[in-house]
């Protein structure tokens, strides 16, 4: 489990989760070399931001404006 400072959460996850995917890939390779299964869990800090979600209508209205 990776405990992250709230200010660094975006850096660890990366754009579209690419950084987190890369870290998981590296861990998987190390695990395969050692005949072990490795998982990465990123612990969301207390009071972390919720991802912005929009309804379909909100997204369409945003595109129109």
> What pLDDT shows up at residue 51?
56
Region 31-50 average pLDDT: 82
Number of domains making up the chain: 1
Better-scored residue on pLDDT, 43 or 53: 43
Task: Report how far Cα 22 is from the mean position of its chain's Cα atoms.
Answer: 11
Rounded to two decimals, what is the model's pTM?
A: 0.61
In whole angstroms, give the CA distance from residue 10 to residue 17: 9
User: Which has more confidence, 54 or 34?
Assistant: 34
Mean pLDDT of the chain: 83
**12: domain range?**
2-64
Q: For residue 45, what are the contacts with CB-CB under 8 A and spacing of at least 6? A: 3, 4, 5, 6, 9
pLDDT at 8: 85
Reference 38, options 51, 49, 16, 23; nearest CA is: 23
Measure the CA–CA gap between 32 and 25, rounded to whole angstroms: 11
């Amino acid at each position: 489990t990776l405990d992250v400072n709230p200010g660094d959460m975006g850096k660890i996850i990366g754009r579209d989760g690419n950084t987190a995917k890369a870290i998981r890939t590296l861990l998987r390779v190390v695990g395969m070399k050692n005949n072990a299964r490795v998982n990465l869990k990123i612990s969301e800090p207390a009071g972390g931001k919720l991802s912005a979600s929009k309804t379909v209508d909100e997204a369409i209205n945003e595109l129109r404006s």
